[in-house]
Structure 1
């Protein structure tokens, strides 16, 4: 980015509010899917088609975010993202035919993917980016926590379509905020020697740092969602926990993940720990947590270990985004973050499915050794990422110092 001055708090706060909206969108799905199946008279496999179209839109956003930033400024890119998402939300609010509902998920996935990618790029370029990005993703957790509550409350009085109407309406103040808070500048990424957008995507995919970063995030998201999806079954079947207690434990896991994003990075900043060292410490914590859960003799110890596992998992995704500008050339940074953000969804879809397959054919006890293997893979990929990417593990600092020309936003 062509950064010329330090931004005020308004763009940063708007970034947090936007991630809360993305979290709300993710959180309402689990509550609304039952009403949608009943309304359209379809089964689980049929409604599941919407997951694939939404994922396709999200991955398309990741692949094109860098090219978009090379053509328009940050404000316009955010307006495109929120506009596409709002269009999809309003289309669902009018209760379209099922085929259209499936197709509309492309808009929802693309809109949320653009918003996530652009805001990750925006905050990654600011001083103290690691802490800012951890807070950004923590607000996604806040939205995901509030989403089911909002959906359940509205369903007491209105149809499921009302939830998407509310989400669409929330886009209006966000779009207004983007217009007012983000400056009107020429294209956000200006490099005389910058290649064409197709060239940027090709070069990003050939970068070892991008390949390793994408692999790391795919494994991370698969581990995060896999544990969150199957933890309830694991606690009930392996430890004999009552359903209510198991449900509270799963909530504690997600709460721990959110708190980790709020608390760990500021603490690392205070003691002078680099971002790479902080992430390595968290990865060790994740590995230890998975090992404790595998060997836990009591339900109480398993419950505590789940919360700690979530706590140490929390900072990993945003920290990977924060170090990316130091691992790739500036002209590839936006594309690299978009690709990493988009491909993370592959792990989020495939690895939880694999965990469920193992649970069905071998036993739910396999969840913890499965998580342990993924945590070890994460640790190895992370070390390769920060060393082969050109920045040694102790050179990726937290907070990122403000450099000349990197004190504002384009």
Structure 2
């Protein structure tokens, strides 16, 4: 299969920068939102649930969008829905409407992520493209807290959402110009689907365990990224600007991990399974150290390291999925795993906020440690129960 050209791939990366910005600004803005609306941590956490509900709905309908609209217009529809949610948030609606419009934000990001994952998975050298795609999420997540912390010095939190909405305009134009009318994924979606694919996918032990693994991973990643700002200010007494820069360091570490760890592991002769296991051990060790040695300097360095070791886990799980399930289940498996991952992205950060409210924000690190142990166990079980595992496979680098 030939590459469709460099423009769609680069535009995919730019889109994931926006998705990362969306995730990265949340932890900084949440303090201002709680103050503005007069709500507590558990109540503001309702936005996690509605956003994730929209994201899961996107996973369920992405195939139908590809069938009806094909890749170009499906991406344009996704970015339009996201922009509508961003602008609706930027006008500071009543709190109940704020919670509701996060459905649009979640649906838009879910459509963009699902379609781009499938689109790149069908291109030559797809594992490298997917690893880089998710690395650019980290680029956006690194820039997000910097952008939010800087704008909050001069403007309301709503201005950040207005900026996110405006960034959708050039992306929408790019989709309409650069993407083919019918990508390979769309062509297959337009054909009659084999019966029983979803049923067989949901019955696959590798998919079930992989979905659980990614749910815990996303819950840990977003939970730390969202609440670390409050953790640094309330536990370590750091200023808002320093705390914001530290959270950006966490996302920078995640990005660097996605760019650097895989090629280093390749040169060292490590398998994908070995690389991921080593990263999971690193996450566990760093979370334990941050809990056992609660100092401001260690918290800053430790959060960067935590992000660094977390970085490769999601794209590696996506990249090895074609080796864990039969070929006819691959696209559906990626969609299911990607959609279910946001269950963890909603429930686990909400639980973090509930613990912060009722026990104390200091619980962030022991909570992260517990999740890291669960991650490691699920990863090992996923590989052990895979239908056709290829643990020697390591995402190639070009």
> TM bucket by the smaller chain?
0.7 to 0.9
Distance 1:296 1:69 in 2: 50
1:156: how far off? 6.0
Q: Which has the higher contact order (CA 8 A, sep 6+)?
A: 1
| Maintained 8 Å contact 1:218/1:347 | yes
Distance 2:30 2:363 in 1: 28
Q: Output one character per residue of 1:271-313: Cα deviation in whole Å (capped at 9) or x when no partner.
A: 4543333212212222232343344486655554433222111
Distance 2:300 2:162 in 1: 37
Matches of residues 5-404 of structure 1 in structure 2 within 5 Å? 5-32=2-29, 43-44=39-40, 48-93=45-90, 99-154=96-151, 161-185=158-182, 187-189=186-188, 194-195=193-194, 199-229=196-226, 231=228, 241-244=236-239, 249-296=246-293, 300-301=297-298, 303-355=300-352, 367-399=364-396
| Maintained 8 Å contact 1:268/1:278 | yes
Structure 1 residues 231 and 91: alpha-carbon distance in aligned structure 2, compared to 1, 3 A threshold: closer
1:316: how far off? 0.4
1:59: how far off? 1.5
1:234: how far off? 6.2
Query: TM-score normalised to the size of structure 1?
Result: 0.81
Distance 2:143 2:28 in 1: 12
Distance 2:27 2:292 in 1: 31
| Maintained 8 Å contact 2:2/2:123 | no
Distance 1:28 1:309 in 2: 19
Distance 2:302 2:246 in 1: 10
| Maintained 8 Å contact 1:274/1:395 | yes
| Maintained 8 Å contact 1:95/1:161 | yes
Structure 1 residues 280 and 393: alpha-carbon distance in aligned structure 2, compared to 1, 3 A threshold: farther
- Tell me the C-alpha RMSD between the 2 structures: 3.5
Q: Output one character per residue of 1:200-234: Cα deviation in whole Å (capped at 9) or x when no partner.
A: 44333222222111100111122223344555676
Structure 1 residues 104 and 298: alpha-carbon distance in aligned structure 2, compared to 1, 3 A threshold: closer
1:256: how far off? 1.4
Which of 157-166 and 79-88 deviates more? 157-166
Structure 1 residues 179 and 299: alpha-carbon distance in aligned structure 2, compared to 1, 3 A threshold: closer
Which of 67-76 and 168-177 deviates more? 67-76
Q: Output one character per residue of 1:298-357: Cα deviation in whole Å (capped at 9) or x when no partner.
A: 665555443322211111011111111222333433332222222222222333444455
Query: TM-score normalised to the size of structure 2?
Result: 0.83
SS at match of 2:188: coil
> Number of residues paired by the alignment?
393
1:365: how far off? 6.2
SS at match of 1:189: helix
SS at match of 1:54: helix
Distance 1:194 1:214 in 2: 23
Distance 1:229 1:203 in 2: 35
Structure with larger Rg:
1
Structure 1 residues 361 and 37: alpha-carbon distance in aligned structure 2, compared to 1, 3 A threshold: closer
Question: Unaligned stretches of 5+ in structure 2?
Answer: none
| Maintained 8 Å contact 1:191/1:331 | no
